[in-house]
Copies of this chain bind each other. A is one copy, B any other.
Amino acid sequence: MNLEGTGGVADIEHAARSAREASRVIAGFETKLKNRVLVEIASLIAAREAEVLAANAEDMSAARAAGLPSAKLRRLELSPAALTQVRAGLEQVAALPDPVGMIVRDDVMPSGLRVRQERTPLGVILMIFEARPAVTIDAFALCFKSGNACILKGGREAARAARVFADIAREALEIHGCPGNSVTVLPELSRDDLRHLLTLDRWIDLCIPRGGTELIRFVREHSTIPTVQHYRGVCHVYVDESADLEEAERICVTAKTSAPAACNAVECILVHRAEAPRFVARLVAAYAGAGVEVRADQGARVFAPTAKEADTTDWGSEFLDLVVALRLVDGMDEAIAHIAHYGSDHTEAILTRSEERASRFVREVRSSCVLVNASTRFNDGFHLGLGAEIGISTSRVHAYGPMGLEELTTKRFIVEGSGQTR
């Protein structure tokens, strides 16, 4: 369904109720049917590529006219290459094992009861997101494959491209005789309407907000629907005293430049004071060569006076841009304390040649993903082997870290007896 009406409470409730009805049907779908729909969407995107790109171009020029910051513009932009990636993503989700119906436990109890636990869809998933238009397709693909209906509330900036994507999804659903309400793309909503939507826990099982901190706070405050937060990614790399400095330079630089606006990009480098004389100047030079602005503390600027002086607001900042903070620490204690204070439980890495020190860092830093000698940017569903992801949860309930297909399901108990009373 593509809600193009005036919105309002009645329309919103109708959308949620229709999604609930669709979810009952989707829950029983065979894997093959779900896969056929996903592959169909991929070919329709190829067939309608010009249309998608034209809609995105309109979104982009409106966004530029409205003066959107460069980080947001980067998230908004689609290209033929990006669409190829969207299609590859669809094929990939189609190829993933279907979690629905998976038996995760099968035991016989002393009572003689046979107890199984089976993966089952959550039901209806509401996703609220900003800028990135391709989320419309990515999120639908993951929700649908895991047997859920979804309601998508994207950002105004991406509305034109999102509408075309929704159209394509609906066309594919119709071709294969699936309910169109498997996906609902909501139009722009007033704050009051959004607030109302967030109370429809009768029909919506999970809400996933992805976007700025203001959006997440709004959802957390007003939602009575269980919510998995995709909050900020304030990711740290700690360069330990025993790090391989050549490797460290490569990891620090690419962890920022490979995707500056990604939530798993590094935002702050902590360097062990003992390595500062050998490492800081070369790191700052490498960053400068890659066009990255470094905001360094006093200690680091001794070795790299060209670096901009950091102010206290730079610690804990999610720059989402070609900017990185740099700070010297006296040792691992201070690095861990900095992360505990300024981090967002998202992704942290230690670069070290000491196994013992690595394992202490891993034990004491409790972020959703802690890496040793690798870039923070590996914290995503694809690189961690989930196949794909709908987001990275920074709250510990339901899912912590990348959420793949399994995290869009729950487990139910099926018990077979032979007359057991109690």
Residues of A within 8 A of B (CB): 27-28, 107, 109, 111, 113, 115, 120, 122-123, 201, 205-206, 220-221, 224, 226-228, 244, 247, 250-251, 254-255, 258, 358, 362-363, 366-375, 377-379, 383-385, 395-402, 410-422
Residue from B113, B228, B401 within 8 A of A413 (CB atoms): B401
- Contact flag A378-B417 (CB < 8 Å), given A122-B396, A400-B411: yes
Asked whether A27 lies within 8 Å of B412 as measured between CB atoms, the reply is no
Selected from B27, B111, B362, B412, the residue in CB contact (under 8 A) with A370 is B412
A311: min CB distance to chain B, Å: 24
Enumerate chain B residues within 8 angstroms of A378, measured Cβ to Cβ.
Answer: 111, 113, 415, 417, 420, 422
**Closest-CB distance, A269 to chain B (whole angstroms):** 14
CA distance A367 to B412 in the complex (A): 7
Residue from B369, B413, B417 in contact with A415 in the complex, judged by beta carbons closer than 8 Å: B369
Chain B residues closer than 8 Å to A247, beta-carbon distance: 419
Of the A-B pairs whose beta carbons lie under 8 Å apart in the complex, a sample of 8, sorted by A's number, is A120-B396, A205-B395, A250-B421, A369-B415, A370-B414, A374-B417, A374-B422, A378-B417
6 more contacts with CB within 8 A, not counting A378-B420, A379-B415, A398-B398, are A27-B366, A226-B398, A251-B421, A368-B412, A370-B412, A370-B414
What is the total number of copies of this protein in its complex?
2
Q: Which residues of B contact A413 (CB under 8 A)?
A: 368-370, 379, 384, 401-402
Given A374-B420, A419-B374, residue A385 in contact with residue B254 (CB < 8 A)? no
| Cα distance, A419 to B349, chains bound together (Å) | 11
A378-B111, A396-B205, A397-B226 given as contacts; is B221 within 8 A of A384 (CB)? no
**B374 close to A412 (CB less than 8 A):** no
